[in-house]
Amino acid sequence: MIPISVLDLSPVQQGSDAARSLKNTLDLARHAERLGYRRYWLAEHHNMPGIASAATAVVIGHVAAGTSTIRVGAGGIMLPNHSPLMVAEAFGTLASLFPGRIDLGLGRAPGTDPLTARALRRNLETDANAFPQDVVELMGYFRPVEEGQRVRAVPGAGLDVPIWILGSSLFGAQLAAMLGLPYAFASHFAPAELENAVAIYRERFQPSEQLQRPHVMLGLNVFAAETDEEARLLFSSQQQAFVNLRSGRPGQLPPPVAGYYESLEPMAKAMLDRALSCTVLGSPETVRRGMEAFARATGADELMITGQIFDHHARVRSFEIAAEAMRERAGAA
């Protein structure tokens, strides 16, 4: 059975607030743990009215404290927004509180717009080379303290915090391969380079202390319901949110609208078709076939499922159906 995990942006629905979203996040995490999901990751985005997980390490602590076995992590921490030492201390603290359960995924995008990125107090003039250097520096803080080392992460030094490289281009694939780290590709919203990135990562992978063989986790949007029609309706919330974001109008997650996709202009339809092509939606049987086909076509070692669904109960049910679909696939095999 291919492992499946959850990526949660802690969506803030229209008419709701962050407090409710964070309660929903913990509820979904508890369901995911019961259903056998391997990981529950939170994503860092800033100045997004529809996303409540900006203080990602804080939300990870909230979820880890409310669960007991599922791994909890960042998908990811946007390293340009932080100093490596502060990230090491934050995740060293989490690993000390929840030993053996914390993952740290790292991305090189700011996770926001340029104005907000400047408000995060970081120098926007750094070039792409800064990310690999920051990753290596961060990894160093988790190693045992060496004699004469003047700067150390407390807590953090000597702790087992698995690091992942996140990406949607060939850059992250090459870095993950060079450092011998697991690689998570954002195919759920930027699938264009999926095939090339995975091929480069696997071809160039160099074993490391953390990982002996390449390990690829791929993002997949899943919208599952009792019928195909209901699933398409649920999907319309994410479609609206994506169009709003790409149009410079980010907002809270809107309720579903029947016929939304059909009402769009051709350019908007084409944008959604490209960006959200890695999406499986439908009834339990449709979702089972779709997830199986995606896993087989890509050769993924792990799937990370996400889905921005307006109604929380429908969202929980969608993840239930996805978990059941993968168990049926394993049983059939």
pLDDT tens digits along 296-306: 999 999 999 99
Report how many helices (DSSP H) and strands (DSSP E) the chain contains, helices first.
Answer: 11, 9
In a domain, residue 120? The reply is: yes
What is the reported pLDDT for 118?
A: 74
CATH number at residue 119: 3.20.20.30
pLDDT tens string 205-220: 999 999 999 999 999 9
Split at pLDDT 50, 70, 90, the class of 227 is very high
Please tell me whether residues 114 and 228 are part of one structural domain.
no
What mean pLDDT do residues 146-175 have? 94
What the block records as the tokens of 232 is 């398409």
Percent of the residues in the chain that have a pLDDT greater than 70, as a whole number: 95
Please tell me whether residues 59 and 156 are part of one structural domain.
yes
Split at pLDDT 50, 70, 90, the class of 125 is low
Of 92, 127, 161, which residue sits at a domain end?
161
What one-character DSSP code corresponds to residue 75?
A: E
Flag the least confident range among 103-107, 143-147, 163-167, 214-218.
143-147
What one-character DSSP code corresponds to residue 224?
A: E
Q: CA nearest 165: which of 207, 218, 106?
A: 106
Of 124, 143, 161, which residue sits at a domain end?
161
pLDDT at residue 117 above 90? Answer: no
What mean pLDDT do residues 41-70 have? 96
| Number of domains within the chain | 2
Q: CA nearest 254: which of 270, 268, 237, 267?
A: 237
What is the reported pLDDT for 18?
A: 97
In a domain, residue 193? The reply is: no
pLDDT at residue 332 above 80? Answer: no
Flag the least confident range among 87-91, 122-126, 171-175.
122-126
pLDDT at residue 77 above 60? Answer: yes
In a domain, residue 166? The reply is: no
What is the distance between the alpha carbons of residues 227 and 281, in angstroms, rounded to a whole number? 9
In a domain, residue 192? The reply is: no
pLDDT at residue 328 above 80? Answer: no
- Identify each DSSP E strand in 43-127 by its residue range: 71-78, 102-107
256-to-15, 230, 248, 271, 308 alpha-carbon distances in Å: 14, 10, 20, 19, 11
What is the reported pLDDT for 129?
A: 65
What is the reported pLDDT for 330?
A: 62
Please tell me whether residues 11 and 126 are part of one structural domain.
yes
What is the reported pLDDT for 329?
A: 62
What is the span of the domain harbouring residue 132?
A: 1-161
In a domain, residue 88? The reply is: yes
Of 120, 138, 161, which residue sits at a domain end?
161
pLDDT tens string 255-297: 999 999 999 999 999 999 999 999 999 999 999 999 999 999 9
Split at pLDDT 50, 70, 90, the class of 326 is confident
Please tell me whether residues 228 and 157 are part of one structural domain.
no
What is the reported pLDDT for 331?
A: 59
In a domain, residue 236? The reply is: yes
pTM: 0.94
Q: Are 41 and 8 in contact (CB under 8 A)?
A: yes
For residue 220, the Cα-to-chain-centroid distance in whole angstroms is: 10
Please tell me whether residues 230 and 324 are part of one structural domain.
yes
What is the reported pLDDT for 119?
A: 76
Neighbours of 270 (CB within 10 A): 11
Split at pLDDT 50, 70, 90, the class of 56 is very high
What mean pLDDT do residues 226-243 have? 97
What is the reported pLDDT for 317?
A: 98
Query: Mean pLDDT in the chain?
Result: 94
What the block records as the tokens of 172 is 């992250």
pLDDT at residue 123 above 80? Answer: no
Please tell me whether residues 234 and 157 are part of one structural domain.
no
Flag the least confident range among 106-115, 181-190, 221-230.
106-115
Q: Are 271 and 247 in contact (CB under 8 A)?
A: no
